[in-house]
Structure 1
Amino acid sequence: MPILLAPDKFRGSLSAAEACAAMEAGIRLVLPDAQVTALPMADGGEGTAELLTQVTKGIWHTAFVNNPLFKLIEAGFGLSTDGQTAFIDSAAAAGLALLAAPERDTTLATTYGLGQLIEQAIAGGAKTVVLGLGGSATTDGGTGLAAALGWQFLNAAGQTFTPTGGTLIEIAQIIPPASPLPVRLRVACDVQNPLYGPTGAAMLFAPQKGATPVQVSQLDKGLRHLDQLMQQQLGMTHAAIPGAGAAGGLGYGLITFLGATLEPGVDVVLDAVAFDEHLSGASLVLTGEGKLDGQTAQGKLIAGICRRAGKSGVPVVALCGTLTLAPEEIQDLGLLGAFSVLNRPQQLAEAVLTAADDLRATTFNVMRLLRTYASLRL
């Protein structure tokens, strides 16, 4: 019985690889000779680049780049074994987690370091960059990234500078580089917000990065100003594209300055790990994550797995920590079944410690049931 294991991490308790190991151990108790393929997954957020590098047997590289406050740090990115594809998390150079709480000021933050990281990947031979958005400290519309990659931003005095969220309003002229980057960018983006306005990058997300109401208004005006200049000087606007407001307007910047395409994160990840190839010939997919809830059905990893497996007629069973989906939602998602691994009253600290054993035991029960059902049908 060929079985494909494709879980996400169980946040705070198990990595995706550890979840695969626990699932396989449960399967072996029932079907010792089963053909099991482990394919640890990610949702396109932080940690995706490293996992994709591991799954595709690539090589992890590090480089010194600027953090969101222009301080030098060491950040990593992956290159596929053939060197043609780079895997990068935007949070590696522009992430909020890189800053201590007192340092967080999105009016001062830049995506410049992310541009440097992309530049390093291109220098390493990458022809395609798979970039995951999320967890950013910035609201600069991607101008910092663009400045690192050859775009020039001039103020009213004609001086070149690297804009931040708080200085977008000072841009007077935008000059593109002589030639576009020789790379294709596939951007994993699950945010649908526009660049500015009530549901834009500043209004909706800047408060989470420490912005005050006055700063939020300043940031929103700056993003509007940026797009107006792009329209007036270069005849383009991408402000209303779903996802333009992702990661502080980085989605907009990637489209506008680098010609990137924004794609559902799950599809970018599934393509990067050649999920469809692994799915071919499988009789069952076991997936899972820490929590199955209403967000799961909104384009998240398990929804994408169910969609692709459903087209091939392969059943999918999901295992999780917390399960809040109603039976109708489980059915609509396309799952054969969904099961919580929690089997007794527990505090969170205990559940984390026993997660691997609980996942192993639940996988055992699911596989025993499926084996018995298959025998009865015969």
Structure 2
Amino acid sequence: MKIVMACDSFKEAVSAKHACQAIKKGVQQVFPQAEILQLPMADGGEGTTEALIDASQGVYYTVEVQGPLGEKIQARYGILGDGKTAVIEMASASGIHLIEKEDRNPLLTSTYGTGQVIKACLDRGVRSFILGIGGSATNDGGAGMAQALGYRLLDIEGQEIPFGNQGLSHLDRIDCQTIHPGLEHAIFKVACDANNPLCGPQKGASPEMIEKLDANLEHFSRLIYRDLNREVAHIAGSGAAGGLGAGLLAFTSAKHKRGIDIVIETVNLKTALQDVDICFTGEGQIDFQTQYGNPLLESCN
């Protein structure tokens, strides 16, 4: 008998990995001779790194980076068992959970730390990336990330603009001469389930901030089109993670894809289910949306 455990996390209770382990323990009491395969699931948000690294017997790493407001933090990423693909959750370096509620200000927060994590992987020779971009604290359109990767975002006097959305108002041109050489051959899969365009309300933004945030992002997108010849403002998902979706499209070879599809593809869930006798799946809440994001149902369709 072949049995597959393919659970997502049960938020605030148990991780996807531990949910699969708990089910396995119970199943073994009934079917001690069964072949049991554990494939923890995630949708591209929190828990994606753990699900993919654990499923592939990969390795975790930490790197010191700049947090959303410039503080030094330890960010975690993983390398899949193939030794070639990095899995990064931008929230690890630029997440909203890293800032106290009263200090959240999307005019000031930056994705520079996320760029530092990507750079650390490029420096290791990694050229294949899976990025989860949920849970951001930022609204800089990926400008900080670009700066960490060697792009120079310059004001009219040729000086680097300040970090954060606020700094975008000073942007005069984008200089590509010093970008990381590893970017030329790097491939990025971005777990992006949001369809929102670049401009629009963001977490932590008061109504009076939104007009300024949008004006700065619109200005940024115009210069991206002029200097990089890439249109990002109106692409679905470009507004994800405070515009990081747009920044990844502009400054890397990124392709957006549904998070659940990336996970299913990476752990080869469809192959595992071909001759399975029983599959256990679950998540924190079962409701009408489950049919659109449940890994087992997605694979059976």
TM-score range, shorter chain: over 0.9
Q: Supply the distance in 2 between the matched residues of 1:7 and 1:93 (Cα, whole angstroms).
A: 26
Q: Supply the distance in 2 between the matched residues of 1:127 and 1:226 (Cα, whole angstroms).
A: 27
The TM-score with structure 1 as length reference comes to 0.75
Please give the root-mean-square deviation of Cα atoms over the aligned residues, in Å: 1.7
Query: Is the 2:42–2:259 Cα contact (8 Å) retained in structure 1?
Result: no
Quick check: 1:195 aligned with 2:198? Answer: yes
Query: Is the 2:60–2:78 Cα contact (8 Å) retained in structure 1?
Result: yes
Match for residue 209 of structure 2 among 215, 238, 242: 215
Quick check: 1:251 aligned with 2:242? Answer: no
Output the amino acid matched with 1:6. Answer: A
- Superposed CA offset, 1:54-111 (max 9, x none): 2211111111110001111111111123421101100011101111222211110000
Structure 1 pair 182/70, CA: closer, same or farther in 2 (3 Å)? farther
Query: Is the 2:39–2:51 Cα contact (8 Å) retained in structure 1?
Result: no
Q: Supply the distance in 2 between the matched residues of 1:11 and 1:268 (Cα, whole angstroms).
A: 20
Task: Indicate the structure whose relative CO is greater, using CA pairs within 8 Å and at least 6 residues apart.
Answer: 2
Query: Is the 1:44–1:266 Cα contact (8 Å) retained in structure 2?
Result: yes
- The SS at the match of 1:242 is coil
Output the amino acid matched with 2:198. Answer: L
The residue number in structure 1 matching 2:140 is 140
Quick check: 1:115 aligned with 2:115? Answer: yes
The structure carrying a bigger helix percent of its residues is 1
The residue number in structure 1 matching 2:84 is 84
Structure 1 pair 187/177, CA: closer, same or farther in 2 (3 Å)? farther
Query: Is the 2:109–2:163 Cα contact (8 Å) retained in structure 1?
Result: no
Bigger radius of gyration, 1 or 2? Answer: 1
Output the amino acid matched with 2:38. Answer: A
Superposition deviation, residue 6 in structure 1: 0.2
Q: Supply the distance in 1 between the matched residues of 2:109 and 2:224 (Cα, whole angstroms).
A: 21
The TM-score with structure 2 as length reference comes to 0.93
Question: Residues 50-199 of structure 1: matches in 2 within 5 Å?
Answer: 50-177=50-177, 180-196=183-199
The residue number in structure 2 matching 1:361 is none
Match for residue 233 of structure 1 among 212, 224, 227: 227
Superposition deviation, residue 162 in structure 1: 4.3
The residue number in structure 2 matching 1:48 is 48
Query: Is the 1:191–1:242 Cα contact (8 Å) retained in structure 2?
Result: yes
Superposition deviation, residue 223 in structure 1: 0.7
Structure 1 pair 120/20, CA: closer, same or farther in 2 (3 Å)? same
User: How many pairs does the alignment contain?
Assistant: 298
Q: Supply the distance in 2 between the matched residues of 1:11 and 1:114 (Cα, whole angstroms).
A: 24
Q: Supply the distance in 1 between the matched residues of 2:140 and 2:73 (Cα, whole angstroms).
A: 20
Unaligned runs of 5+ in 1: 311-378
- Superposed CA offset, 1:250-283 (max 9, x none): 0000011112001000011112222233223212
Q: Supply the distance in 1 between the matched residues of 2:81 and 2:298 (Cα, whole angstroms).
A: 29
Q: Supply the distance in 2 between the matched residues of 1:152 and 1:308 (Cα, whole angstroms).
A: 43
- Superposed CA offset, 1:86-138 (max 9, x none): 01100011101111222211110000010000011122221211110111000
The residue number in structure 1 matching 2:297 is 306
Match for residue 287 of structure 1 among 277, 281, 292: 281
Superposition deviation, residue 214 in structure 1: 1.8
Runs of 4+ in 1 over 6 A off after TM superposition: none
